[in-house]
Amino acid sequence: SLSHVKYNRALQLEAGVSDGADRFMASLYLATIIFGLPGNVMALLYFNRECARGDVSSSLYRLIAAMDICTCIAHFPVMAVLYTERHPALFQVKCFHGYF
């Protein structure tokens, strides 16, 4: 609602948060998603093949790649909120809120 946006904007101004900083951070998150997600998926696939040998280091790399994938996915809602002037649009959807 419009009153929520005005209240949210007032809080941003009070905290000294700028739209430029939000857009910059959101762009960094977007770059993380665009480059990090495919790279980590490819690494996970590679180490899944290597893990068949029973190598401990391949198992650790596979775990690290899986955690990086989760981190990249977790950036998406934060990025969406920053691009929409901190309006929590995604968190108003009960299904998404329950999942996140």
Distance CA 43, CA 41 (A): 5
* Residues 22-29, mean pLDDT to the nearest whole number: 88
pLDDT at 10: 60
Other C-beta atoms within 10 Å of 78: how many? 13
Q: What is the reported pLDDT for 42?
A: 94
Please report, rounded to a whole number, the percentage of residues in the chain having pLDDT higher than 90.
23
Specify the pLDDT at position 1. 47
- Supply the pTM of this predicted model: 0.66
The least confident of 44-48, 61-65, 84-88 is: 84-88
Report pLDDT for 67.
95
Measured between alpha carbons, how far is 59 from 41 in angstroms, rounded to an integer? 15
Q: What is the pLDDT of residue 26?
A: 87
Pick left, alpha or beta for residue 22 (phi over 0 → left; psi -120 to 50 → alpha; otherwise beta): alpha
Judge contact between 43 and 65, C-beta under 8 A: yes
Q: Which residue has the tokens 């280091």?
A: 57
- Say what the pLDDT of residue 41 is: 94
